[in-house]
Chain A
Amino acid sequence: MARDYYAEARELARDARAAELPALGSRIDAVIADGFTASEILMGLRATLRDELPELEPFPELEARAASLLGAIDAALAS
């Protein structure tokens, strides 16, 4: 079974909100809800994570999860 990028992203969104980073949470949820194909959603998540990663620097655990997810999405889109 493939990695569940959406579940991880939603969890990240929830924890980002808890860390008072509402923009990341909102963007992730919108990308997943609006996407019509896996590539559309994954490309949207990748762009969002790239944009927001610097904001996560004060939160090393969130930053590490986001970076891991970003790498996995990159690989999924490249295959």
Chain B
Amino acid sequence: MLQVVQRPPRRRDRPPRPATRRPIEVGRYYDPQTGQFLTIDPLVDESRASYTYAGDEPVDAIDPNGTKWFFQRAYDAVTSGRDEASFWTGVANGGLLLIQSTGASGVGQQAPPPVQISNSYSCPNNGFYQAGQLVGGLLGGYLLGGGPFAAAEEGSLGASMNAATGGAADAIPGIETPFGVAEQSLDSAALSARVDVQSGAELWRIGTMGQSKAGEAQFWSLESPTTPGFAARYGIPPANVTNADFIESGTLKPGAPFVTRSAPAVGASPGGGIEVVVNPGDVQLTGFSAG
């Protein structure tokens, strides 16, 4: 049944924010004239606010993805990389969370959290979530974004939005493959795995001699293919594992670009294994075994 939700009247007590109607999240459009979203909150059950923008704080807060909002000050601190002693941020349900940064290393602590934001909280299809991960674990976002995010322009929602997307999703370019461009997955598991890859985690691959690519291969796994359940986690036919006659491993060459992807589910295989896609030759082989 079609449900009609009446939008609240336009707020006249606050100036409109200089935003566009650019959708940068999961399909929600922001109307700068009313300071509200034009489309319903996909997390309305959690937020209990169908169209409210940024906790109904359109001047002091931003909501880059339409599902989680932050006070501008908190966002600015995160995106500029400043080592602020503490700042407040809001979450979609209106709760407040005190974040304390403890040093230039970016190691963060939450204290005391009236509302928990989990590192594993998933908010796919938006770039800002990496900054959101910063809130839950300050170090991660900087690494995931390839460096501190661009500073948001004070008081400009549009600039903040651009910084959010530019500093996160757009900062991770896709990898060209013979089958097209492999894009970075934006789920939390794939994003977190970027830190492991950059830290020298071992990459694996198997194949068939004379048929499969070896050192020039572009698709790698973050776990050994000999691990039980590998085929199901990586969404490949079991025969691809049992028929393989070589196994190789290596590490990403320093500074080489890459993307991480959560393997899609296929049939009964749940997927979810972390794939690492690199340019040809960007894995420094450390092991090779045939037979």
Q: Which A residues touch B271, using CB under 8 A?
A: 2, 38
| CB closest chain-A residue, reference B218 | A40
Cβ-defined contact, A5 with B205, below 8 A: no
Q: Which B residues touch A36, using CB under 8 A?
A: 205-207, 212, 217, 219-221, 225, 234, 236, 240
Cβ-defined contact, A38 with B177, below 8 A: no
Q: Which B residues touch A7, using CB under 8 A?
A: 267
Cβ-defined contact, A47 with B240, below 8 A: no
Is B228 located at the chain interface by the 8 A CB criterion? Answer: no
Q: Which A residues touch B211, using CB under 8 A?
A: 34
Overall SS of chain A's interface = helix
Given A32-B237, A34-B212, A47-B180, decide whether A39 and B219 contact each other with a Cβ distance below 8 A.
yes
Instruction: Please tell me the size bucket of the interface on B.
Output: 35 or more
Contact with B along A20-64 (1 / 0, CB 8 A): 000000000000111111111111101100000000000000000
Q: Which A residues touch B107, using CB under 8 A?
A: none
Is A77 located at the chain interface by the 8 A CB criterion? Answer: yes
Cβ-defined contact, A1 with B268, below 8 A: yes
Instruction: Please tell me the size bucket of the interface on A.
Output: 20 to 34
Cβ-defined contact, B240 with A2, below 8 A: no
Is B92 located at the chain interface by the 8 A CB criterion? Answer: no
Cβ-defined contact, B179 with A43, below 8 A: yes
Cβ-defined contact, A77 with B266, below 8 A: no
Given A33-B240, A34-B212, decide whether A39 and B267 contact each other with a Cβ distance below 8 A.
no
Q: Which A residues touch B236, using CB under 8 A?
A: 35-38, 41
- Interface pick from B152-160, B257-265, B278-286: B257-265
Would you give the shortest CB distance from B249 to chain A, in whole angstroms?
13
Is B25 located at the chain interface by the 8 A CB criterion? Answer: no
Is B235 located at the chain interface by the 8 A CB criterion? Answer: yes
In the assembly, what is the distance between CA of A45 and CA of B266, in Å? 13
Partner of A6, one of B178, B179, B217, B266: B266
In the assembly, what is the distance between CA of A4 and CA of B211, in Å? 25
Is A67 located at the chain interface by the 8 A CB criterion? Answer: no
Given A39-B182, A39-B277, A76-B264, decide whether A6 and B219 contact each other with a Cβ distance below 8 A.
no
Q: Which A residues touch B179, using CB under 8 A?
A: 40, 43-44, 46-47
Would you give the shortest CB distance from A29 to chain B, in whole angstroms?
11
Is B275 located at the chain interface by the 8 A CB criterion? Answer: yes
| CB closest chain-B residue, reference A50 | B180
Partner of B261, one of A5, A34, A39: A39
Q: Which B residues touch A43, using CB under 8 A?
A: 177, 179-180, 182
Most buried by B among A5, A38, A43, A47: A38
Would you give the shortest CB distance from B57 to chain A, in whole angstroms?
32
Q: A38-B235, A39-B277 are in contact. List 9 more A-B contacts (CB 8 A).
A: A2-B266, A5-B267, A6-B237, A35-B240, A36-B236, A37-B220, A40-B218, A41-B236, A47-B178
B contact residues vs A (CB 8 Å cutoff): 124, 177-180, 182, 205-208, 211-212, 217-221, 225, 234-237, 239-240, 243, 261, 263-269, 271, 273, 275, 277
